[in-house]
């Protein structure tokens, strides 16, 4: 069995799903999922305005249009606003679990069933969490993720038809059966064996990794000064996010050590209109930042990092 095939088998078991399709990136996982669902020009996909750009880009790659919905106080898509964004052209919802926080999948599933929409779930930042059993759930194996290689991604599903379609589509650029005859356009999204081996090694250490990250998170909880607004509800300790009024000054001191700005609203990007449409997402983008959580971090390292925040 090749390394990528073993990874597919073991990751499907890890997530409690029937099938998995390994690809070369998390973005490819999202794009391939949308293509497998038949989404294309003229269609719309509901996307959180507060998330990684890859989510909107994957929709745009298909020729469909992302329709942005603001976030709630948990940083995830505000479920109460989703139905207002649905039109006759809407084909799917793409919930994203942001910074280790779980979106309201029960509410999203209820809306999807009501309007007969598909769900492509972005779980790239919540490896190890109990996800929403969407039509398709996507993960990234980028080097900063909990389960990681240098790069890579994977899609899990319980739908055999979608699984077969994605396995075909991801390698059709060169012909899976090597007949040089193609019935539809495919992609060169195959995961290199070298990356699959790295992801397999990381997967074997996932339980210990998750436990250590939770411990590091507890150090942050202890050492960060009062006056910093923190929002609870992380199911997975991927990064440590918080709000800070002196964000710009603070980030300059911490950026070299792994601190990062929050996402910018996707609706503010020039290709999507250039004007932020989501008030909540805009506030978080201005005053939010997150600190790294690594399993090997010690209590003293976290303490030293936290002392730099004024």
Higher per-residue confidence, 173 vs 120: 120
Is the pLDDT assigned to residue 304 strictly greater than 70?
A: yes
pLDDT attached to residue 122? 98
- CB-based contact 294:220 (threshold 8 Å): no
In angstroms, the CA 296 to CA 276 distance is: 38
Does residue 60 carry a pLDDT above 70?
A: yes
Q: With 80 as the cut, is the pLDDT of residue 132 above it? A: no
115: pLDDT strictly greater than 90: yes
Instruction: Please give the average per-residue pLDDT across 47-66, as a whole number.
Output: 98
Name, of 195-199, 231-235, 292-296, the range with top average pLDDT: 195-199
Least confident of 128-132, 165-169, 273-277: 128-132
- Measured between alpha carbons, how far is 154 from 177 in angstroms, rounded to an integer? 22
- First-last CA distance in the chain: 53
Whether residue 177 has pLDDT greater than 80:
no
What percentage of the chain exceeds 70 in pLDDT? 93
Residue 171 has pLDDT above 80, yes or no: yes
What integer is the mean pLDDT of 122-137?
93
Q: What is the pLDDT of residues 18-44, one digit of tens each?
A: 999 999 999 999 999 999 999 999 999
User: Closest Cα to residue 41, out of 69, 61, 67?
Assistant: 61
**Residue 243: C-alpha distances to residues 13, 149, 216, 260, 291 (Å):** 37, 30, 19, 12, 11
CB atoms within 10 A of CB 174: 11
Token pair for 290: 């997150």
Q: Which domains does the chain have, with CATH numbers?
A: 3-203 (3.40.640.10), 206-307 (3.90.1150.10)
Asked whether residue 141 carries a pLDDT value surpassing 80, the answer given is yes
CA distance 34 to 119: 9
pLDDT at res. 173: 60
pLDDT tens for 61-108 read 999 999 999 999 999 999 999 999 999 999 999 999 999 999 999 999
Q: Mean pLDDT, the chain, as a whole number?
A: 92
Residue 257 has a pLDDT of 73
Cβ-based neighbour number of residue 62 at 10 Å? 19
- The mean pLDDT of 155-171, rounded to a whole number, is 95
Give the C-alpha separation, 57 to 61, whole Å: 6
Instruction: Provide the pLDDT for residue 230.
Output: 56
**Per-residue pLDDT reduced to its tens digit, 205-264:** 999 999 999 999 999 989 886 555 555 567 999 999 888 766 556 667 777 777 888 999
């Amino acid at each position: 069995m090749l390394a990528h095939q073993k990874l597919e088998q073991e990751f499907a078991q890890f997530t409690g799903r029937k099938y998995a399709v390994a690809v070369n990136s998390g973005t490819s996982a999202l794009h391939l999922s949308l293509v497998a669902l038949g989404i294309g020009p003229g269609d719309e996909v509901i996307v959180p305005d507060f998330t990684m750009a890859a989510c909107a880009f994957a929709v745009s790659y298909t020729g469909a249009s992302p329709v942005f919905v603001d976030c709630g106080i948990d940083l995830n898509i505000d479920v109460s606003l989703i139905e207002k964004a649905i039109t006759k052209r809407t084909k799917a919802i793409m919930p994203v679990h942001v910074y280790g926080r779980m979106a309201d999948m029960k509410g999203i599933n209820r809306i999807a069933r009501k309007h007969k929409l598909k769900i492509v779930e972005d779980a790239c930042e919540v490896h190890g969490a109990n996800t929403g059993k969407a039509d398709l759930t996507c993960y990234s194996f980028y080097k900063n993720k909990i389960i990681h290689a240098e790069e890579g991604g994977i899609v899990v599903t319980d739908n055999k038809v979608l699984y077969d379609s994605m396995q075909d589509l991801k390698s059709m650029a060169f012909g899976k059966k090597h007949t040089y005859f193609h019935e539809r356009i495919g992609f060169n999204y195959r995961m290199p064996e070298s990356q699959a081996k790295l992801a397999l090694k990381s997967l074997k250490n996932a339980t210990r990794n998750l436990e250590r990250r939770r411990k590091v998170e507890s150090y942050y909880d202890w050492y960060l000064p009062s006056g910093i607004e923190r929002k609870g509800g992380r199911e997975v300790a991927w990064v440590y996010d918080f709000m800070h009024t002196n964000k710009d000054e603070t980030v300059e001191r911490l950026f070299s050590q792994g601190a990062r700005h929050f996402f910018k609203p996707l609706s503010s990007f020039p290709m999507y209109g250039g004007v932020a449409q989501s008030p909540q997402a805009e506030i978080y983008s201005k005053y939010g930042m997150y600190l790294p959580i690594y399993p090997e971090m010690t209590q003293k390292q976290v303490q030293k990092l936290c002392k730099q925040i004024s």
